[in-house]
Amino acid sequence: MSTPTLQPQVSADVTRVDVPASPPPKRRRKRRNPLPYWLIAPALVVMLLIHVLPAAGGVVLSFKKFNLFTFRELFGAPWNGLENYRSILLDSDNPLHSGFWGAVQNTAVYTFWTVTGTLVGGLAIALLLNRKMRGQRVARTLMLVPWIIPSYVVAVLWAFMWQSDVGIINKVLVDYTHLLGHRPVWLLGPNTMWAIIIPSIWRGLPLAILIFLAGLQAQPQEVHEAASIDGAGPWRRFRYITLPLIRPLIGVQLLFGVIYAAYQYAIPTVMFGTNPGPDADLMMTFIVRQSFSNSLYGLGAAASTMLMLAMLVWVAVWYRVFRRDLEVT
């Protein structure tokens, strides 16, 4: 009553537009009610203003010659065609060409290990926690803790632990357990990749455990019992009952895990600064550094666009593989 605009009658003439397409009996149900549009309006407006419009602007900038000298012209900067794309993709004279491909390769390695480690580890731990055990609830709650630690705290903490001479990790590996004969350098050179992958897995595990555990608990117990009576061992029950049932959960986590890992920025940046070095430079650190430290805005925008395209391809591939699981859920 206080909101007269939301009365259903208002929509009467709006409805007429799409009535002919729908069969007569359904006409009344298809009457367009303006309420849902009012309900999504605030979210739609902020998403348009902060996500869609600027992202479109980013694509436009990727075709512009936009750097420190042309910055004052903003979107009036001269067009550059596909030059930004060509120079980083193909131009071997451009010093950034190899940096870009290095970042692509690093991001692929980082994403593969982070996602694999998180999903495999998460499922294994979820299976452990799904057993009847004293203190089961305490164990499950404690397992969630790493997920709440902010990623910048994760990064400073692990950088502190990775220190070669006085870091606790080398102390445990070398001094206490003698697993390694020498002290590896973690924060410089090839090991830097592991220095960011391992904390990422550590922080990602709790969420994976949580989701897998929910999936495991939702499984019908009778199926397991029946299979057990028929003589199926633990491995076969896992392979032929558990795995197919949690396949949709693996799918969902793969989809978002890959995107999240490919867009990782906080952990390498906080750990190593704007330039993590050739062994741990990811796409995002590369793009942000070229855009903001080196003022190559157009080039950064082109690299961002390609990163997004790569993720669109990933979503398409994912959809082909997991389409049937979407229908189940």
Partner 1 sequence: MTAFALSPRTRKRLVNRGLDVLTWLVVALMLAPVFWLVASSLQNDGQLARGSYDLLHPTFTAFKNMWKTVDFERYFINSVIICTVAALLATAFASTAGYALARFRFRGARPFGLAVIGTQLIPGSMFLLPLFIGFLWIKQHLGIQLFDTRVGMILVYTAFFTPVAIYFMRSFFQGIPRDLEEAAQVDGCTPFTAFVRIVLPSAAPGLVATFVYAFLFAWDELLFVAALTEHNAETLPLGIRLFIGNYSQYYGQLMAAGVVATIPVVIAFFAAQRWLVKGITAGAVKG
Candidate ranges 48-56, 94-102, 108-116, 219-227; the one touching partner 1 (CB under 8 A): 48-56
Record the tokens describing residue 296, joined without a space. 């190559």
Record the tokens describing residue 253, joined without a space. 């986590």
Count residues binding partner 1 (CB under 8 A). 103
Can you tell me which of 18, 101, 188, 225 binds partner 1, judged by CB under 8 A?
18
Site for partner 1 in 231-260 (CB under 8 A): 248-249, 252-253, 256, 259
Candidate ranges 94-102, 147-155, 177-185, 189-197; the one touching partner 1 (CB under 8 A): 147-155
In the beta sheet, which residues pair with residue 64? 79
129 binding partner 1? (CB under 8 A): yes
Query: Which DSSP state fits 273?
Result: -
Candidate ranges 85-93, 111-119, 135-143, 222-230; the one touching partner 1 (CB under 8 A): 135-143
Cα 288 off chain centre by: 18
49 binding partner 1? (CB under 8 A): yes
Q: H helices within 90-220, ranges in order?
A: 95-129, 136-143, 145-148, 151-162, 168-170, 192-217
Site for partner 1 in 188-217 (CB under 8 A): 202, 205-207, 210-211, 213-215
79 binding partner 1? (CB under 8 A): no
148 binding partner 1? (CB under 8 A): yes
1 binding partner 1? (CB under 8 A): yes
Long-range contacts made by residues 321-329, C-beta under 8 angstroms, separation at least 24? 321/251, 322/248, 322/251, 322/254, 322/255, 325/247, 325/248, 325/251, 326/248, 326/251, 328/248, 329/248
